[in-house]
């Protein structure tokens, strides 16, 4: 039911571990397979620095998970609440280390799921990308994902030439991971497809930096944080993925903010063939991979779908662009209203009164929808007065 062909790779399900720490060692990747992953993208491989040390620094501590002002509350992520994952520098595996890992993973006692190796060459140095791709194909990679951010400076745009150079070098599928949050996916994705990419992943969030502070200590968590993940960015990535899917015919892998089956389904309804998961593994453990796959299956059973193609891209035609304006709509209280009065606080047009838990809405209502969208008891509906 969940099996899928992704750029020529046969996956038992569409849930892929995204490139990061949860796929940084052979043991981690075995664990991902044991917990139901359809494939993994390894932590990105980079050449070591001039002194032979792995690129990327070794900040300690380097991760912090945020979902409430007072710290992490697991019950919130369990209920599907928002969280964000901050990180500082961590070391990138060298080609030598990755080749050893692939040797282990592709030999006896290895894994059966596809191992997509993420590579990251130097900015503007196409030979470095070509060499990394060659080394990884020779070492047994099933596909290559291009991590286009480069290390320093952080590159915030996609470079189609990298796709062409790598595609001309290897026979395995080549996936381009878009990281430029400010790029227009509808103009850039077609360039990547024309350059030879077999698939596109989006939206990687490395190009974003952020700050969070501990107020009592009057200090930022980290002096700098990049590569944020987590549910708070999902809506941005969903829009980005829709733009990719609307503009290319090659498969798309949706990443950012997936922590349950419905999150994955959202990406698929917008055209994604597979999804990738990172921060949710830190927050909930590898078991979240099976939970996500099970959640997709539960959605399909509920809707009567027998394959992922049955609903892939189904929401795209509903993205019609401009919203309807000037409709004769007003908010009306219904029988679910419990008189909590929350809508009174949020009305900017002073149209709502709540006296003795009895709510009324006057003709001053603009039909803006704030009360309707905030109402905790679904006690307000929008009615057409035409
Ligand atoms: C700690 C950490 C390390 C990451 N390392 C890489 C990396 O090496 N290569 C890469 O392409 N993306 C990397 N990413 C980005 C993730 O693959 C993913 O695109 C991002 O976290 C959004 O997904 P999420 O919301 O599921 O976390 C990293 C993210 C985090 C949080």
Whether residue 346 sits in one domain with residue 312 = no
Are the beta carbons of 20 and 42 closer than 8 angstroms? no
Whether residue 83 sits in one domain with residue 17 = yes
324 located within any domain:
no
Measure the CA–CA gap between 121 and 130, rounded to whole angstroms: 8
**Which position has the token pair 């709540």?**
354
CA angle 22, 59, 221 (to 5 degrees): 95
CA angle 67, 253, 210 (to 5 degrees): 35
Q: CATH number of the domain that 203 lies in?
A: 3.20.20.70
CA of 229 to the centre of ligand 1 (A): 6
DSSP calls for 288-341? HHHHHHHHHHHHHHHHT-SSGGGTTTTTGGG--SSPP-S--EEEEE-TT-----
111 located within any domain:
yes
Number of domains in the chain: 2
Query: Which segments of the chain have a pLDDT < 70?
Result: 69-70, 79, 150-151
Domain boundary among 274, 295, 318: 318
| DSSP element (H, E) containing 275 | strand 274-277
Measure the CA–CA gap between 123 and 148, rounded to whole angstroms: 9
Whether residue 269 sits in one domain with residue 233 = yes
Measure the CA–CA gap between 303 and 314, rounded to whole angstroms: 13
Which of 28, 98, 229 is the pocket-test mutation for ligand 1 (most atoms within 8 Å of CB)? 229
323 located within any domain:
no
Q: Which residue segment(s) compose the domain that 138 sits in?
A: 4-318
Per-residue pLDDT reduced to its tens digit, 279-292: 999 988 999 999 99
Whether residue 337 sits in one domain with residue 204 = no
- Tell me 45's DSSP state: B
What is the per-residue pLDDT for 80? 72
What is the per-residue pLDDT for 321? 78
| DSSP element (H, E) containing 217 | none
Q: CATH number of the domain that 355 lies in?
A: 3.30.70.20
Give pTM, 2 decimals.
0.94
Are the beta carbons of 68 and 20 closer than 8 angstroms? no
Nearest Cα residue to atom 4 of ligand 1: 20
Whether residue 335 sits in one domain with residue 302 = no
Nearest-10 Cα torsion for 318, 322, 327, 332 = 60
Ligand 1 pocket, residues with Cβ under 6 angstroms: 18-21, 43-44, 85, 87, 118, 147, 177, 204-206, 227, 229-230, 255-258, 277-280
Residue 281 CA: which ligand 1 atom is closest? 26
- Checking 23-30 for CB contacts under 8 A at 24+ apart, the result is 24/93, 25/101, 26/101, 26/104, 26/105, 26/110, 29/101, 29/105, 29/111, 29/115, 30/105, 30/110, 30/111
What is the per-residue pLDDT for 297? 98
Nearest Cα residue to atom 12 of ligand 1: 19
What is the per-residue pLDDT for 79? 67
Domain boundary among 272, 292, 318: 318
CA of 319 to the centre of ligand 1 (A): 28
| DSSP element (H, E) containing 63 | strand 63-66
Looking only at the bridges linking them, the beta strands covering 199-202 and 174-177 are parallel
Measure the CA–CA gap between 107 and 91, rounded to whole angstroms: 25
Are the beta carbons of 4 and 253 closer than 8 angstroms? no
Adjacent-strand bridge partners of 45: 119
Whole-number Cα distances in Å, 365 to 261, 327, 371: 38, 13, 10
Residue 206 CA: which ligand 1 atom is closest? 15
Whether residue 228 sits in one domain with residue 178 = yes
Measure the CA–CA gap between 350 and 34, rounded to whole angstroms: 57
Whether residue 309 sits in one domain with residue 223 = yes
What is the per-residue pLDDT for 151? 67
What is the per-residue pLDDT for 262? 96
Whether residue 52 sits in one domain with residue 71 = yes
Measure the CA–CA gap between 84 and 212, rounded to whole angstroms: 10
Which of 16, 19, 181 is the pocket-test mutation for ligand 1 (most atoms within 8 Å of CB)? 19
299 located within any domain:
yes
């Amino acid at each position: 039911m969940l099996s899928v062909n992704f750029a020529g790779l046969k996956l038992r399900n569409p849930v892929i571990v995204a490139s990061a720490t949860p796929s940084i060692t052979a043991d981690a990747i075995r664990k991902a397979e044991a917990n139901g992953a359809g494939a993994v993208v390894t932590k990105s491989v980079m050449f070591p620095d001039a002194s032979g040390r792995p690129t990327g620094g070794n900040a300690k501590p380097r991760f912090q998970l945020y979902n409430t002002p007072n710290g992490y509350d697991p019950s919130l992520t369990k209920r599907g609440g928002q969280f964000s994952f901050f990180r500082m520098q961590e070391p990138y595996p060298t080609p030598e280390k990755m080749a050893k890992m692939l040797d282990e993973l592709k030999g006896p006692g290895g894994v059966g799921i596809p191992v997509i190796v993420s590579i990251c060459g130097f900015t503007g140095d196409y030979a470095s990308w070509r060499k990394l791709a060659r080394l990884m194909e020779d070492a047994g990679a099933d596909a290559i994902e291009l991590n286009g951010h480069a290390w320093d400076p952080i590159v915030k745009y996609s470079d189609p030439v990298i796709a062409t150079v790598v595609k001309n070098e290897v026979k395995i599928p080549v996936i381009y991971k878009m990281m430029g949050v400010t790029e227009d996916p509808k103009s850039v994705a077609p360039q990547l497809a024309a350059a030879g990419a077999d698939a596109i992943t989006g939206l990687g969030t490395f190009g974003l930096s952020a700050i969070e502070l501990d107020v009592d200590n009057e200090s930022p968590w980290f002096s700098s944080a990049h590569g944020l993940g987590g549910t708070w960015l999902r809506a941005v990535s969903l829009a980005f993925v829709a733009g990719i899917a609307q503009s290319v015919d090659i498969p798309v892998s949706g990443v950012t903010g997936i922590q349950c089956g419905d999150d994955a389904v959202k990406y698929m309804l917008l055209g994604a063939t597979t999804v990738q998961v990172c921060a949710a593994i830190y927050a909930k453990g590898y078991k979240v991979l099976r939970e996500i796959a099970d959640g997709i299956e539960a959605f399909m059973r509920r809707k009567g779908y027998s394959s992922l193609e049955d609903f892939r891209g189904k929401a795209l035609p509903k993205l019609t662009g401009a919203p309807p304006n000037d409709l004769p709509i007003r908010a009306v209280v219904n029988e679910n209203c419990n008189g909590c009065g929350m809508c009174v606080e949020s009305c900017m047009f002073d149209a709502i009164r709540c006296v003795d838990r009895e709510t009324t809405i006057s003709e001053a209502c603009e039909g803006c929808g704030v009360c309707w969208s905030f109402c905790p008891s679904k006690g307000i509906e929008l009615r057409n007065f035409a």
